[in-house]
Structure 1
């Protein structure tokens, strides 16, 4: 039990060191490769994302049909949509 507490504390400190607040956009919604692709394109908000079509986003590294489907669901919850192609 003590080992678990020690391990938990060490993992928390590692996470705190590696945490980057700029990486929060869509954290937990889509995977890291897709989030990094959006970052490269300077897409860091749903408003900026809505300036792109679904087809344009699918061309980015890390985006496939499954990722786009998750993204569309999240966008719909926030009443934001891809531009029409």
Structure 2
């Protein structure tokens, strides 16, 4: 059974591509990453960041 940490949450294609290009392929890869660092990625907007933060919080984790 896959954990929610094994995949990225459902965010837009540009944001997903931005994360993949930066080497992030699963939610677990984003634990402790500074929010400001992710915000700098081309294609990553406030909505996608909010979805990622919410998905992490559901696992009692968060961005930095």
TM-score, length basis structure 2: 0.75
RMSD: 1.8
CA pair 48-54 structure 1, distance change in 2 beyond 3 A: same
Contact residue 8 and residue 27 of structure 2 kept, 8 A:
no
Query: Which protein is richer in helix relative to its size?
Result: 1
Runs of 4+ in 1 over 6 A off after TM superposition: none
Of structures 1 and 2, the one with the larger relative CO (CA 8 A, separation 6+) is 2
Gap regions ≥5 residues in structure 1: 1-24
Gap regions ≥5 residues in structure 2: 1-6
Aligned residues: 59
CA distance in 1, matches of 2:21, 2:45: 17
2:26 corresponds to: 45
Higher alpha-carbon Rg: 1
CA distance in 2, matches of 1:44, 1:64: 17
